[in-house]
Amino acid sequence: MNPTDHENENGHPAQVVPFLELFYDLVFVASTMVISNEFSHSANWHVAGTCSLMFALLWLLWFHTTVLMNVERRDDLGQRGLVFAQMFMIFVTTLAFVDTGVAAVDLVGAGYLVAVLIVAYGHHRIVDLPDPVGGWARARRNRLVLAGAVVFAGILLPDGFDWLLYAAAIVLLVLPTSLASWSGRPVPPVDEHHLSERAALLTLIVMGEAFVKSALVISSGSITGWDVITMAVLFVILFGLFAAYFDDIPTAGIRAGDLSGEVWLLAHLILQLSIVALAIGVSKFLQVGDAGVPPKAVVILMVAYAGIFCGLALIGWFSRTSRTSELLTLRLVTAALAVFSGLVVLAVDGVTPGEYLLALAGLSSLHSVLAIRLRRTTVIEDDYPRSDASMN
């Protein structure tokens, strides 16, 4: 990228991610911690599914808001009001989700409906801008309003059938954006540097949740030697993941094409949800010792590791690196090895969960070393200017 691409009229470096967007991310710190705690307290498949669904729904609000700010970066009083209102609704909806004494599906749906309509109104504020931005904003606003209408219909339906409409709303929030035909219709250019930084910042926040989660578990009792070992392994794993993402993804670019930028960003949902699951899995090793680690901790870690490296593989596939195929293979093989070794732990009595945790640390380190060797001979294919990628 030309170093002057992000300079203001005075020649000083322009801020790529405004403070308003950084402030907006703070609500996801709280929401992610609340949802992960809910899963930790009742770790079963039903709770895992509902918590994952809630995380995905909230993440999709972040996705649409981030894409909007990528195209039109406003920081006026109206925009701040919309951001603050959305943050409030996200926080209230998250608390309603975990408050089993009060919450119902319809209450969560009502809160989410308001949040979706707030995002839709944010798009409505720029529909009068010249095309391609105005037409793009109208199309996305209409899809968001339609998703909100489906959620509202789900609220009116009796329990037992409403989930069908909620599922349809999720489809509207994802698939129509990706599958819409834009032939003959111009789309606004994407600021690739801004999009990369937004995704990287949220990934960093989610990784930080792993430290917070572990610290909260240990602080509930007395730290033991096993806790120190587990934390050391967690640090090795997270530093390996840090290298796997930040040494590659932010600088690898985004492949040209109308759908590439969007799929690239959506793949971060898989990655970030899996990092949250990793933190929950590691927390099951704390305060219990290897002998007391439940088998579900191994399952959680196995699924989390597979999700992390499959997410990285999908993100990397839509990058512009010359070693795309090799990095894809490395990440998928790493995911497969994590699943295979997890199945061995579950099937063989002589292999302990603690040994599996150590194996994952070794797997992260090995992946980092091999990825570094690949990146030494990797170049970024400049098939378009970095600020000219398009997203529908």
Side-chain half-sphere CA neighbours of 284 within 13 A = 24
User: Does residue 182 have a pLDDT over 60?
Assistant: no
Lowest mean pLDDT among 11-15, 37-41, 335-339: 11-15
Are 195 and 174 part of one and the same domain? no
Residue where a domain stops, chosen among 157, 189, 221: 189
Lowest mean pLDDT among 21-25, 150-154, 193-197, 284-288: 284-288
Are 158 and 203 part of one and the same domain? no
Average pLDDT over residues 15-19: 74
**Total count of domains within the chain:** 2
Q: Write out the two tokens for 39.
A: 């899963």
Query: 114 in a domain, yes or no?
Result: yes
Q: Write out the two tokens for 300.
A: 């959680």
Predicted TM-score (pTM) of the model is: 0.87
User: Does residue 11 have a pLDDT over 80?
Assistant: no
Query: 140 in a domain, yes or no?
Result: yes
Are 84 and 180 part of one and the same domain? yes
How would residue 387 be classed by pLDDT, with cut points 50, 70 and 90? very low
How would residue 8 be classed by pLDDT, with cut points 50, 70 and 90? very low
Q: Please give the pLDDT value at position 174.
A: 84
DSSP element (H, E) containing 390: strand 389-390
Alpha-carbon distance of 126 to 142, in angstroms, equals: 13
Are 271 and 343 part of one and the same domain? yes
Are 161 and 260 part of one and the same domain? no
Query: 143 in a domain, yes or no?
Result: yes
User: Does residue 3 have a pLDDT over 50?
Assistant: no
Are 253 and 291 part of one and the same domain? yes
Are 368 and 240 part of one and the same domain? yes
Are 166 and 213 part of one and the same domain? no
Percent residues over pLDDT 90 in the chain: 37
Are 144 and 237 part of one and the same domain? no
Average pLDDT over residues 237-242: 92
Which residue segment(s) compose the domain that 250 sits in? 190-384
How would residue 135 be classed by pLDDT, with cut points 50, 70 and 90? confident
Q: How do 189-190 and 389-390 pair as beta strands? A: antiparallel
Report the candidate in 298, 300, 301, 309 with the shortest Cα–Cα distance to residue 370: 309
Please tell me the total number of residues recorded for the chain in this structure.
Answer: 392
